[in-house]
Amino acid sequence: MLAAKIGDLGHPVDPRIIAMITAAIGYLVRHGPLTEQDRWEEDPGGSPYTLGVMVAALVAGAAYLSGPDQQYVLDLADDWNHRIEEWTYVHDSWLDTIFGLAGHYVRVGPDPQTGVTRIANQADTQFDPPSSGVIGLEYLYLPRLGLRDPQDNRIADTTRLIDVMLACNVSTGVAYYRYNYDGYGEQVDGANWIGVGVGRVWPLLAGERGHGAVQAEQDGLTQLTAMLAMRSPAGLVPEQVWDQPPLLPRNGIPSLPLLTGQRTLSAMPLVWGHSELIKLAWLRATKQPVEQLQAVTTRYHGQAPTPTVSYWRTAVPVVELRPNRDLVVEDTQPFVLHYGHDGWQDV
């Protein structure tokens, strides 16, 4: 994606790294579309964020391929893009009933092996709520990459949901939790995270919400201002900010004062957070997300495609094959295929 972005800016990629790019494409082809870890390095399954990045990477990377290889990668990207909602969007869940929504994107689809979403950093290691009840801001990367329309009702409905369930006003502004039930943060008494804790809010996610606001033809200044206010006196963006009343050290806990809306004991600077702040400022000025690539926006125009091929893999079987669409059954190793129809009466 970096190579494609540099190309969009008029600087062709150095031929010496094309082999690295094609090797990376091969890895995505063999191991996608589900991920062993979501972007928080916690859960396997189908993440809207990771799926979006993989689709964009395949489309951008196809420019470095030719012939049947290029067409295969583009067909595969179309299929995965078309099926993002199959893996990450739910209808008529209990959350939708409560909030009067038609459906919403989940943080990560269920682990295909267990059918559940594991919640990390919890004292109860068996805590596994249904994936339909765990939400995050990952879905906002779909319009940001040019894969979905920012005005799509599914995007708008999920945004209403995260604004109620994940937003927190911490006096310096509104920031967002990574997801409900998060346990990555200081413990209740302010002691540092030791594998379990209570999730705190992230300035980074205020930036992601700001991107969503600008793409939905809003201003985004509220989120940018919040990110600026949550920085340290030296201008550093922390990983997380404190979401509770001020807590001063007592008997060494916490090790530093925890002030509402200011840094916690988490990492600072979070370079990812600085990048998000700069990109939000850029988006407000240009109305063009930095992540969008010409090859991706030209191919999809913010809409899910109608693929010509469906790809069946063990981890992501094809539940329904549409008329006039080819079916490819594939694996990374040789196999024997048995197929039939009419309840396996004719095999």
In this prediction, residues 6-22 reach a mean pLDDT of 93
Place of tokens 């870890």: 37
In words, the CATH class of domain 2-329 is: mainly alpha
Reduced DSSP (H G I as helix, E B as strand, rest coil) percent helix, strand, coil of the chain, to 5:
40, 10, 50
The answer to which of 65-74, 115-124, 130-139, 245-254 has the lowest mean pLDDT is 115-124
Interval 285-298 mean pLDDT: 97
Integer-rounded Cα Rg, in Å, for the chain is 22
117-121, 160-164, 206-210, 308-312: least confident range: 117-121
Amino acid, res. 75: D
| pLDDT for the residue numbered 346 | 74
pLDDT tens digits, one per residue of 94-152: 999 999 999 999 999 976 656 667 788 888 888 888 889 999 999 999 999 999 999 99
Give the contacts of 192 (CB within 8 A, at least 6 positions apart): 186, 254, 255, 265
Rounded CA separation 201/216 (Å): 23
Residue closest to 70 by CA, chosen among 42, 34, 29: 29
Candidate from 209-213, 281-285, 343-347 with smallest mean pLDDT: 343-347
DSSP H or E segment with residue 162:
helix 153-165
Question: What's residue 124's pLDDT?
Answer: 86
Q: Which residue, chain included where needed, has tokens 């129809």?
A: 341
Nearest to 144 by CA among 210, 88, 59: 210
Instruction: With a cut of 70, say whether residue 233 has pLDDT above it.
Output: yes
> What is residue 263's three-state secondary structure?
strand
Q: How far apart are CA 263 and CA 252, in angstroms?
A: 18
Domain ranges of the chain: 2-329
Residue 327 backbone phi and psi in degrees, to 5: -115, 130
Alpha carbons 35 and 247: distance in angstroms, whole number: 38
How many angstroms separate the CA atoms of 20 and 55, rounded? Answer: 18
- Computed over every residue of the chain, the mean pLDDT equals 94
Beta-bridged to residue 328, according to DSSP, are 311
CA distance 305 to 167: 32
pLDDT over 90 percentage in the chain: 86
pLDDT at 188 over 90: yes
pTM, rounded to two decimals: 0.94
pLDDT tens digits, one per residue of 37-56: 899 999 889 999 999 999 99
The DSSP bridge pattern shows strands 167-169 and 103-105 to be: unpaired
Average pLDDT over residues 188-214: 96
Q: Strand, helix or coil at 346? A: strand
Q: Which stretches of 33-152 are DSSP H helices? A: 48-61, 67-82, 84-88, 94-99, 141-144
Q: Is the dihedral of CA 281, 287, 293, 297 positive or negative?
A: positive
Give the count of beta carbons closer than 10 Å to the beta carbon of residue 318. 17
**Mean pLDDT of the region 80-93:** 95
Amino acid 301: pLDDT? 96
| pLDDT higher than threshold 80 for residue 243 | yes
Residue 155 has pLDDT above 90, yes or no: yes
